[in-house]
Chain A
């Protein structure tokens, strides 16, 4: 660490002081490779030097900057219990993290393990599969405006999930990753790294939750998805942090030749949640499907930023982000499709739909395109409106009460996204989760 970071004003580091960082480093197992510790030190230096986002920062346009804070959080200790896991579907393996430490696990079947599938903690993987981790862990550039929080994540990342599926192995059941923040002011830094080898297939379901809805917690999470040639990755992330939490999540996806990645992010929790999603279509035939569903209520703010980069010809991306807004909630969708020069025959789509269910809610849409090749098909659309009065009237005319009709239409609004999931059990589980939150 350089001398300047040690004397950096506390406002730039908040609770994440140099002393806290030193304590974090000391808590890590001694087996970790030096390059990783060096990277963490460099990340901390970057974090401590970078300013918090400012109001004129174009990447933070419309975001509430005043409520971003690094003060008042603690690095929590080990947990003794975790809340009940809410996704009742069969899984191939499971890792449960509480406050950044492995709490419990369901190991893979010996058969899958024998075929080379790895589901392990990052700490173990850093030792056992060093080269693979080094190649893919946080390897993509932070392009969506949160270099400070990304650096914070890297500096304080203690443990996370590592999933690697080798060539030609296809998993039928999803792998479950659970991350809990426990304690009133807990700060957590979850990470999931998924690597799919050539023609491999894997599905990952990740859940983020808190012990109480009143905990003013902090989360700076990230994931890396790497889809090798011809592979398929399906990723479902459910963010259900405490309603007083401040959350930053940065997802980064690389899709290689003829590979296919589908990601669905469900946003339910936190008082202010920023979600950044970068999808790089790196080789011909790559396809990335980006889906998100948000139920925003009370004073919640969901700030979603996406970037689809088409780096090679004949690639395809399809984005659908739907937000339902109640109370004084606010959502921001800022998406950008970038088509690099020579990425001809790109087919890119981007759609943001906001369903306004309250007179005090606010929806901001910034759908963007930057196209530098001519033989492309790129479209985007953004709409914001209330429930269609005609549809409402139709249901009412059939004897359905207005409230029920509205509920049905709202669930129908979500269903368009959920229908894209191939796994029926998962579809059902997610539908239940959303409807439960919605009816609360």
Chain B
């Protein structure tokens, strides 16, 4: 079991009465907190220029980063919520009731008894070790993985790999990271990337030198003790010419979080001939808005592959993208979404072809259970005067119950007669014949349904690392329980 990197268990809830936190006393409406010693590591609730200046000063950042943050904040305030195409549910976010930065020593405390039963049950079913359970549930903010972490860190450090958090990356290695920071995803890309740019903390900065192939996947959780944030994490991975790396974030266990907004920015840069594979398993609690911007740039002959699995959260909006900048670059998005009652998984992919002979592939599968809603949104863009570009998109949706919902909104633009795209989507339910066949072999309806759903995503789940796919299967069994009949 991998604990998460992007846990935000450090963040106090908007409703501060449930935690013992010294920060609750401040004026939450005005947002103009003072720098009292008691609150030294707390930016308070609400968002203003002072919040941003505060975060920047705590992190002892260079002046250009503060300027970057302040410009982003202005951008954030000036941009409207994208509700002209996105769900109106976004309007439920109260940006002034959110804590944007809470450092070490300001962790919310919770006892094991306060952890909801369904979360405990899930831990039980997934077979998560006692120690990790407490961490995941937010009872303990620290998970001791220092040994494993330093081991891996030593191995990759010998290869010249830089693997640090965002603060350290910008402070210690500006010559490497500054060049690409905020370049793949400009601050004003969307309202939430602007928000992240203003208040980011945590996340991983990775540089893989020329020709280095990192054998074992880098997992964010190795680094959990270093800086334990995930609410507005910022990740930048640069893979130099001919290098290869696989990065994993997240965790199949549900993360019990009291914070309601998570907005990360992840930028990938694959230089000539490099390969990056980025695996995410997202399982936030059902009250979290998970609004994430992920994009990579693939140079000549490079390859970027996003494997994205969304199970948790109240609303996820995430469309991993690849800008195919160099000739023969390849982009791929493999996406699995599971939406249960009260959830909306609004996921998809973006493929921007910007050079000849670039190819992209999108395979998205979604499952809607109960009143869950899953949405696929995609953009495929092949501009003028390119040749030999190809895109393939497949979206399949499975609806389990009569009131489940699924939507598909792809947008495909092709210019010129030397490229080709194909898009196909289908919506279906689990066939009654299949269920009947399994039932007459002695399976219960629930087991049969579970098996059928696992079969539906099997070809995608196989692309996950083994332990993830095993957990994914268990998790689907769990979600499918009580969904039939």
Chain A residues near B (Cβ < 8 Å): 56-58, 61-62, 341-342, 344, 354, 356-386
Contact = CB atoms under 8 A, between A and B. Distances in A.
A3 B158 CA distance: 79
B179 interface: no
B405 A359 contact: no
Contacts of B397: 369, 371
Contact of B405 (A361, A366, A372, A385): A372
A366 B406 CA distance: 16
Contact of A383 (B401, B423, B428): B423
Given A359-B418, A373-B402, A374-B404, A366 B425 contact: no
Nearest to A356: B417
B342 interface: no
18 contacts: A57-B84, A359-B384, A359-B385, A359-B418, A361-B417, A362-B414, A368-B409, A369-B407, A369-B425, A371-B399, A371-B405, A372-B403, A374-B402, A380-B423, A384-B419, A384-B420, A385-B422, A386-B418
Given A354-B414, A377-B428, A386 B420 contact: yes
Given A383-B422, A385-B419, A364 B402 contact: no
A379 B405 contact: no
Interface in B375-429: 384-385, 397, 399-429
B85 interface: yes
A365 B402 CA distance: 29
B423 A381 contact: yes
Most buried by A among B402, B407, B415: B415
A242 B275 CA distance: 53
B413 A342 contact: no
A171 B426 CA distance: 38
B381 to A, nearest CB: 9
A366 B401 CA distance: 27
Contact of B425 (A372, A375, A381): A381
A378 B426 contact: yes
B412 A384 contact: yes
Contact of A62 (B407, B413, B426, B428): B413
A56 B407 CA distance: 21
A384 B419 CA distance: 8
A162 B418 CA distance: 47
Given A360-B384, A361-B416, 19 more contacts: A362-B415, A363-B412, A363-B414, A364-B412, A365-B413, A367-B408, A372-B404, A373-B402, A374-B399, A376-B427, A379-B427, A380-B408, A380-B424, A381-B422, A382-B410, A383-B422, A384-B414, A384-B420, A385-B421
A58 B385 CA distance: 27
Given A366-B409, A374-B400, A361 B415 contact: yes
A383 B407 contact: no
Contacts of B429: 374-376
A107 to B, nearest CB: 48
Interface string B24-63: 0000000000000000000000000000000000000000
Given A365-B423, A369-B425, A371-B399, A358 B417 contact: yes
Contacts of A371: 397, 399, 405-407, 427
Contacts of A362: 384, 413-415
Contacts of A374: 399-404, 429
Given A367-B425, A381-B423, A360 B415 contact: yes
A35 B400 CA distance: 49
Nearest to B421: A384
Contacts of B427: 369, 371, 376-379
Given A374-B401, A374-B404, A366 B424 contact: no
A363 B417 contact: no
Contacts of A377: 427-428
A368 B410 contact: yes
B110 to A, nearest CB: 38
Nearest to B414: A384
A58 B377 CA distance: 13
A358 B384 CA distance: 11
Nearest to B374: A371
B410 A366 contact: yes
B423 A375 contact: no
A380 B425 contact: yes
A218 B48 CA distance: 51
A375 B402 contact: yes
A305 B49 CA distance: 44
Q: Which 9 A-B pairs have the closest CB atoms?
A: A385-B420, A374-B399, A356-B417, A384-B414, A386-B417, A369-B408, A378-B427, A379-B426, A359-B416
Interface string B244-263: 00000000000000000000
Contacts of B428: 376-377
Contacts of A361: 415-417
Nearest to B432: A375
Most buried by B among A341, A372, A376, A386: A372
Nearest to A333: B412
Contacts of A61: 411
A371 to B, nearest CB: 5
A58 B84 contact: yes
A384 B426 CA distance: 19
A294 to B, nearest CB: 15
Contacts of B85: 58
Nearest to B405: A372
Contacts of A373: 399, 402
B420 A383 contact: yes
Contacts of B407: 368-371
B189 to A, nearest CB: 16
Most buried by A among B400, B412, B418: B412
A357 B417 contact: yes
Contacts of B384: 359-360, 362
Contacts of A378: 426-427
Contacts of B400: 374
A422 to B, nearest CB: 29
Most buried by B among A58, A341, A361, A371: A371
A365 B382 CA distance: 12
A81 B84 CA distance: 48
A365 B417 contact: no
B412 A368 contact: no
B295 to A, nearest CB: 20
A57 B429 CA distance: 34
